Amino acid sequence: MATGERVGVPLLWSVEARLAALLPDLLVFRKPRGLEPELATAQGVLLGVHVTGFTALMDRFSLTGKSEHDVDKLAHIFSYYISDIVEHVLCFGGDILNITGNVLLALWTVEQNQLSDIITLVAKCSLEIQEKFGVYHTREGQDLQLKIGLSAGRISQVVVGDEQRQYLLVFGRDVDDVQLAQRLAQANEIVLSWNCWKLCEQYMFEVEIMKEDEAVKLRDMRIIDPFDFDEHFDKCLNYLPHYRTSADTLRTALELDPDSALEQTLRKHIMKNLLKKIDEGQPMEYISESRTVTMVLVNLEFHKTAWMLHFCHLIQEAALYISTVIEKGGGQLIQIFMFEKSCMFLCVFGLPGEKKPDECAYALESSFSIFSFCWENLAEIKLVSISITNGPVFCGMVGAVARHEYTVIGPKVSLVARMITAYPGLVSCDEVTYLRSMLPTYNFKKLPGKMMKNISNPGKMYEFLGHRRCVMFGKRHLAREKNVNHLLLDREKELEAFRMAQQGCLHQKKGQAVLYEGGRGYGKSQLLAEINFLGQKEGHRVLPLTLKEADSKQYFYAIQTLMAIFFEIDSCPACYRQEYLHKQLHGMVEEPLHCLFNDLFFVKFPLSFKVSHMDDLARQRKIKAFFFQVLQEAARETPLIFLIDEAQHMDAASWEFLGTLLSSAPIIMVMTLTPTFTLCSWAQHFLQSPQTILVPISKLAANSLLRMACWELRVVSIPQELQIYLTHRCFGNPLYCEVLCQDLLSKDILLFHDLQKVEEENSKWETLSVNAMKSTMYSISPASSEEDLKELYVCTVKDDVNLDTVLLPPLLKEVAVSQLDQLSPEEQLLIKCAAVIGHSFHIDLLQHLLPSWDKHKLLKVLRALVAIHVLRWCSKSQEPPAKPMLVPSSIEIIEETKEKKKKSDADYPLRLQEELSLPQTEVLEFGLPLLREAAWELWPKTQQITLHLECACFLQDLACRCGSCPRGDFVPFHRFAVCSPKSSSGTFRFCSYKDTGSVLTQVITNCSRLLPKAFFYLRKASSLLGQPSTFSFLKKHKVKICQFEEATFCRLQSEVCFNMGQITLAKKLARQGLRLLKRNFPWTWFGVLFQTFLEKYWHSCSMNQPPNNPSENKKKLAALQQQVHCLSLLWQLYNLEATASSRRFACLAALMQKNSAEEFANEAQVVSTYVALSQFSQNMGDREQWLHCEQIAIQKSSLCWFSREGLFATAQLMQALAYTKLCLGHLDFSIKLGFQACEICRYLRKPALENLVLSVLFRSAFLKKKFDLCVHVLESQWELISQGHEVLSLACFYSACLDLLLYGKGLLCRPFEECLSFIQHYEHNCILTSQSNVMLGVHSSLAMWFAQDSQWSLFEHHFCKARQLVKRTNASLFGSHGFVRFLECHVLILQKMPEDVFMHIPPETHNQILKYFKEFFCRCVTCPVYHQWVSDLKASVMRYGKRESMSLTNIFRPFDTCLIKIWEEREFLEEVNSTEGNLRIQRFDRVANVVENRNEEETQECTC
């Protein structure tokens, strides 16, 4: 229902009660009658309440252009308003007959002598309604007010319909009087009909007589002693036998005992789709939807001479025909209501479960059929008027819990009623229906515009004339034209089929047919446009044609149009058509036979004697024979190609002709088919021909789809959030991609930026723009010329836009909703609930939204949806490997199975079979495009909010990591830190906003490695914590979270900023997080000195204190965990800068991290910390501390192997050891460790760590000259990083590709142009500008490449950038590697580069170059693997100081002559293998000492 609160029906109600709540007491307590209409009469008082201003409010909403959102608001306002009125009427004993549009009609049925008392009761009820609800102020500025009319007297009633569906009609003079009284009343007035005034106790009312209208305006009731209204009320209750007897309910009808006969009677008055949902037990608040429907309003006006019973029989006949006709097209007759001598039938196409793709066409055709039937078959008909509109409406429950009705609300509902009056006697439709019907334009006639009450802009109107035979053949055209600026993506296989058919036709002189079959939007028309272009380019004669559904009903239409195109009379004016055709036929057909083509081509040749004696069959044969002859002769001169788009709409006669032509003439026929249509027998025969090839059109690959999106948006890059938006909605469908991109442009939610604009850092989180998300963009290759580069753009999404909440374009929503409605009601409900959760969802959370379903039912429906590919279990990449190293969960399953075997349950075998048939993962995702988004949009807004809060409650209480992670809380010890005891499952059905921050913290933590999602959730959380919110329903709520969660939130923000290149802001947020955790980090150098002293001495003393009780210490452990994260971030951030001050801050952060980690009882965390510290020490050039930290990590690693977290720490250690062996020169050992670490990372599904391992593995293989292995490693690395498009990972990858291009002996992984394009595109990116180590190697390698080709200007450009970076690097592997490349560039300058080449910077002297070598040996002492090569380079500089000539062979193949000596420690490797990976520290010490001694000797030699 509209409110989600006012009209929710309790789940414990019986089916009879749920049915009775939808129907008036007049039907519930009605005596059974026969099928024929039986007229019944009764005395009663009628109350009509008209909500005025509602139509004007709908018109105001329609002008905003946000129709889907507006109808939801309208329904919410109306249902909230009307529910109070309904409850008030029920309290006074009234029976709500119906709620039609904005009018409520209530009845008090009594005896004639009781009418005066009941009129007093109803008058009192009316006065109270006006007093309490007379004016409703809306936020939109349009007030809703009430006009009330009363009448009394004889009421006639009749039930029309058949055994399947029945409708209650209430009519008579007094029904007309109450409607007249409503019209006479002004806002906030009550008017009594004249008959009601005569029957009431007149002395009790203050009235104003309206003589000219014969009505009375009620002003108030007179208080006359001893009148007591309470006594009068009790007296009136005796007249109302069905008044409530319990205070718990407002209606007796809801407390009736189960009665199958009554249930069957009531079911006839409820729509089928609603009955299915009631039988399914769906909550009433889940039934309401916001969707686009087509409404048909039929108005029958009868002559006043018709007597009442005959009048009822006419309505019965009309109702049966109308319901029968519209149900064939997916429509429902939902209401019949009468006024005087006219009767209206409201029909709706596209209600839940009934959506059809072409409902507008069905509605128009059904309307014209009804129009003809009523005129021809119903006697006493005076006028038939039908109006049709299409648009978004609210379909659902309106009213109170005890009495509500299923209805439709929206601007188009008001419009369809106004059109009946504006265009009487016609079948009229609005412009939307006209356009969406896709029917030929000659079936419509434009109507003059007319003013309509309370509708400011009704739009264009059309009269539907019914199906007419086309008075003209079609014209040459295709639905698409080739875009010369864009290539046809992923259609090489399809084009190859056309080329093969083309060659077969030319060489074998036989006809060939290629039929492309694919779903709507797969690019069939675009493919035909490409073939049209290729055919014309090669000199073929191409005859293009696009068919529509209506064309299939016209005999020989396709061939008629094709031949008109062939004779070129399709585009000439009609007055010259006969003359032009005569010229074409001259010499080919005898003059007397020209008249054969009169009907076919709409010409008027004189009828000859010969033709006049032919019958129709002989004429058709003669025409076909002539067409065969003409096409055969034409094909011999010039190759002919027939292009027929949407060939499933071709008529049978045309299929027969083309089948014969295919076997007799060398013509190429290319057609497209949509597989959902059933083809005729001649079409099936054509497809079975050996000369026919059926080619299925596949979906576009993801990369091709994103490339297409870039073309549509005219940019070279799109952000990853937009990539996710498109891939989840398009599923490879190019039409969907095109429509979505156009929709985004029209909604103005994208920002466009100059490609070359340098990014700037932000100092505040609130001002951090989405521009920083360029690091995760998908890119296409930009233009190469500088002029083109100036006009290239990238796009980002506006900061306040959440793409997940952007509504689908109407075209795509209609497609998806029609697919959804093909499912059963229970499947639809499951899909709608799953859509609330997201693209992927967990079974347990889904069941939380379906409280009345048990697990068995849920799994049964899920299996059915998976079987038809609507849903799918998450991809195999997320499932456990085939041969896992550790599978603790499998042990639990086995133990549970053993326990179950002990039970003697009768149904145990079936249940066990079902459980074992489930996949190990319980996470599913949507398998059809747009279905999730369309299902989500069907929920009314209020229900969306309610269900979201349900999910929030579940996540807060029961959320934990999945099996792919170490399970447990998202934030370690989170529940102990926030002191919030875990509530039991299902405790909450509604929750408040106060816990949303906790939920967001958990969700963000889980997404912290997914940069776009993490950034989005953090921005959303920031708005919840006080910043302006994107979500209107959260604007008034400021979330308060505990200090620990605020610290975690700051840490997450810092981590995301670090990954986005926002270094200054990341430092600020990490410090803020530490401060909240009561661990301050100093700002000044003096503070660093003091804090260092405390950490070294005071901390060691405090560690000797005995630990507290572990159960009480968990809160402290939670804080320590976050401290370790913050401090790790800080030293990484300061380590990016090469200044002495930054070095001091980084060292302090590393020391504080070590001290915090040692307080942990978790060995895995300690191992991870020491691994990180060893890497930090190596980067800082501290050899002793580097090896010391690694030694401690190895010692502690043996204690944490047999847990997932411990295994991850071990993988980190193995990566660090591989890194260490690489730096020390143990290349073979480094390679072996790298492969072992990769295996563990793949098992643990840790792509980030695996990427680091592969980087080390590549460098080891590269220095070992195993270039084939280098290519293999880079291909594996590309698989990891290509989907994420993380800029830093891509920069490292392309840096490795450049090394392979320079030294790989002809091997390459990516071409140089791609590497260069990436650097040009992203060199100003915030992330890369902060990564000096990586960029030094990149620019130095590019400089060497350009020097190799003697492109000295480009060499100078990149060498200058490298020279600026060299002082900002450290001793890390990437820093040392980049330094080596930079030194190689200096050697090139001395030995190869001509004089006076540098244009912008002065050349460096010989002594300045030697200073760089000295700096290298001082800085990179922890990377001796490069020392020998740098020594050789230094010797070359000294030897050729006077620019002696030298061959470049030794320069560009340095590793052929100068390789560092590799120490092979086979005994050590055997020992490692024998102990199954438990590394012994004694052997490590001996190897390290040997390496250290040798490296010291080599260093001394190099520096001499």
- Cβ atoms of residues 1176 and 1150 within 8 Å: yes
- Cβ atoms of residues 71 and 4 within 8 Å: no
Q: Is 1155 exposed, middle or buried (0-12, 13-18, 19+ CB in 10 A)?
A: buried
Q: For residue range 967-993, list pLDDT tens digits in order.
A: 555 666 555 555 544 333 333 333 333
Q: How confident is the model at residue 430 (pLDDT cuts 50, 70, 90)?
A: very high
Residue 884 has pLDDT above 70, yes or no: no
Q: What is the structure's pLDDT at 973?
A: 58
Q: What is the structure's pLDDT at 458?
A: 87
- Cβ atoms of residues 1186 and 1484 within 8 Å: no
Residue 1482 has pLDDT above 50, yes or no: no
Residue 419 has pLDDT above 90, yes or no: yes
Please report, rounded to a whole number, the percentage of residues in the chain having pLDDT higher than 90.
15
Alpha helix positions (H), 329-475 = 359-377, 411-422, 431-436
Q: How confident is the model at residue 1027 (pLDDT cuts 50, 70, 90)?
A: very low
Residue 334: C-alpha distances to residues 102, 270, 301, 418, 1005 (Å): 16, 9, 19, 19, 50
Please state whether 264 falls in left (phi above 0), alpha (psi between -120 and 50) or beta. Answer: alpha
Please list, residue by residue across 1347-1375, b when 16 or more beta carbons sit within 10 angstroms of its beta carbon and e when fewer do.
Answer: bbeeebeebbbbbebbbebbebbbbbbbb
Q: How confident is the model at residue 37 (pLDDT cuts 50, 70, 90)?
A: confident
Average pLDDT over residues 675-683: 83
Residue 308 has pLDDT above 90, yes or no: no
Both tokens of 801, joined, read 């836009």
Backbone phi, psi, residue 1468, to 5°: -65, -40
Contacts of 716 (CB under 8 A, 6+ apart): 710, 755, 779, 780, 781, 782, 792, 793, 794, 1321
Q: How confident is the model at residue 469 (pLDDT cuts 50, 70, 90)?
A: low
Residue 992: C-alpha distances to residues 225, 888, 953, 977 (Å): 52, 37, 9, 21
Q: What is the structure's pLDDT at 1443?
A: 46
Q: How confident is the model at residue 1113 (pLDDT cuts 50, 70, 90)?
A: low
How far is residue 745's CA from residue 714's CA, in Å, rounded to a whole number? 11
Q: For residue range 1277-1288, list pLDDT tens digits in order.
A: 888 887 655 778
Q: For residue range 200-216, list pLDDT tens digits in order.
A: 988 888 888 887 768 89
Q: What is the structure's pLDDT at 1472?
A: 35
Q: What is the pTM of this model?
A: 0.71
Q: 666 vs 1495, which has greater pLDDT?
A: 666
Tally the C-alpha atoms within 13 A of residue 257's C-alpha that lie toward its C-beta. 0
Task: Return the ∠ at Cα 270 (arms to 266 and 272), rounded to 5°.
Answer: 125
Residue 999 has pLDDT above 50, yes or no: no
Q: 1373 vs 535, which has greater pLDDT?
A: 535
Q: How confident is the model at residue 1367 (pLDDT cuts 50, 70, 90)?
A: confident
Q: What is the CA radius of gyration of the chain?
A: 40
How far is residue 14's CA from residue 819's CA, in Å, rounded to a whole number? 32
Work out whether strand 512-517 and strand 667-673 pair parallel, antiparallel, or are unpaired. parallel
Residue 379: C-alpha distances to residues 301, 310, 445 (Å): 11, 10, 28
Q: How confident is the model at residue 1022 (pLDDT cuts 50, 70, 90)?
A: low
Q: For residue range 1291-1324, list pLDDT tens digits in order.
A: 888 888 888 888 876 666 778 888 888 888 777 7
Q: 983 vs 1223, which has greater pLDDT?
A: 1223
Residue 1409 has pLDDT above 70, yes or no: yes
Q: Which amino acid is at 233?
A: F
Among 148-157, 224-233, 1298-1307, 1447-1456, the minimum mean pLDDT is found in 1447-1456
pLDDT mean across residues, the chain: 77
**DSSP 8-state secondary structure symbol assigned to residue 345:** E
Q: Which of 178, 173, 172 is nearest to 215 (CA)?
A: 178
Beta-bridge mates of residue 335: 346
Residue 191 has pLDDT above 90, yes or no: yes
Work out whether strand 778-779 and strand 717-718 pair parallel, antiparallel, or are unpaired. antiparallel
Q: What is the structure's pLDDT at 1401?
A: 62
Among 478-487, 530-539, 613-622, 1269-1278, the minimum mean pLDDT is found in 478-487
Q: What is the structure's pLDDT at 1473?
A: 38
Q: What is the structure's pLDDT at 389?
A: 95
Measured from the Cβ of residue 1182, the count of other Cβ atoms closer than 10 Å reads 19
Backbone phi, psi, residue 890, to 5°: -65, -30
Helix/strand/coil (H, E, C) string of 926-965? Answer: ECCCCHHHHHHHHCCHHHHHHHHHHHHHHHHHHCCCCCCC
Q: What is the structure's pLDDT at 1444?
A: 46
Q: Is the dihedral of CA 1139, 1141, 1145, 1151 positive or negative?
A: positive
* 121 Cα distance to chain centroid: 55
Q: Which of 157, 158, 191, 189 is nearest to 177 (CA)?
A: 191
Q: Is the dihedral of CA 266, 270, 276, 278 positive or negative?
A: negative
Beta-bridge mates of residue 161: 166
Q: What is the structure's pLDDT at 865?
A: 92
Q: 725 vs 888, which has greater pLDDT?
A: 725
Residue 48 has pLDDT above 80, yes or no: yes
Q: What is the structure's pLDDT at 1138?
A: 67
Q: 758 vs 1121, which has greater pLDDT?
A: 1121
Q: Is the dihedral of CA 916, 920, 922, 925 positive or negative?
A: negative
Under DSSP, is residue 561 helix (H, G, I), strand (E, B) or coil? helix
Average pLDDT over residues 1030-1043: 47
Alpha helix positions (H), 1159-1266 = 1163-1180, 1183-1197, 1204-1224, 1227-1244, 1247-1263
Q: What is the structure's pLDDT at 1196?
A: 67
Residue 390 has pLDDT above 90, yes or no: yes
Residue 787 has pLDDT above 60, yes or no: no
Q: What is the structure's pLDDT at 960?
A: 57
Contacts of 1334 (CB under 8 A, 6+ apart): 1288, 1291, 1292, 1295, 1328, 1374, 1378
Q: Which of 725, 771, 777, 780 is nearest to 752 (CA)?
A: 771
Please state whether 172 falls in left (phi above 0), alpha (psi between -120 and 50) or beta. Answer: left
